[in-house]
Structure 1
Amino acid sequence: MDIKTAFGMAVKVKRVECRLSQEQLANGADMARSFISRVERGTANPSVSSVMKIAATLRCVPSELWLRAEAYLEDK
């Protein structure tokens, strides 16, 4: 697993915990749903501002998403 895949997993798990659809997350972050889908699959390379918008919509700080991603990487 690479960091983009781990970050995508972190976003998806947090989104599901928040009971948001990809569409709701995308709308809240002012992004396309297809971009959110690519982030969650680990095929997109989100910018710092994109990560900030995603985290804000998920009502967390970006570091929470990164810490989850790091934990997924450690669990390989």
Structure 2
Amino acid sequence: MFMSQGSQTEIELIESMLPTCCPSPCADEEAADVLRSSVIEGFEKAIDLGVPPVQALAYILNWVSDEMARVKAAPVSAST
């Protein structure tokens, strides 16, 4: 991970601001807007709380990478 050992509080803070999924089934465009807004709001809030910008950005990029891997590995459900 990109962050130092002394930044566990910062990690928990940013994790709490990032969504883990869309709250309900939604269109791709809506999901993209929700994700974009959440990431921007989380980044701005982290900056307001004193997290260094590069550290906040590094953690967000790490989170995005983890989410992409999770989604790629998730089984695709059949549409009925």
Give the structure-2-normalised TM-score: 0.29
State TM-score, norm by structure 1. 0.30
| Structure (1 or 2) with the greater helix fraction | 1
Largest Rg, 1 or 2: 2
User: Larger RCO: Structure 1 or Structure 2 (Cα < 8 Å, ≥ 6 residues apart)?
Assistant: 1
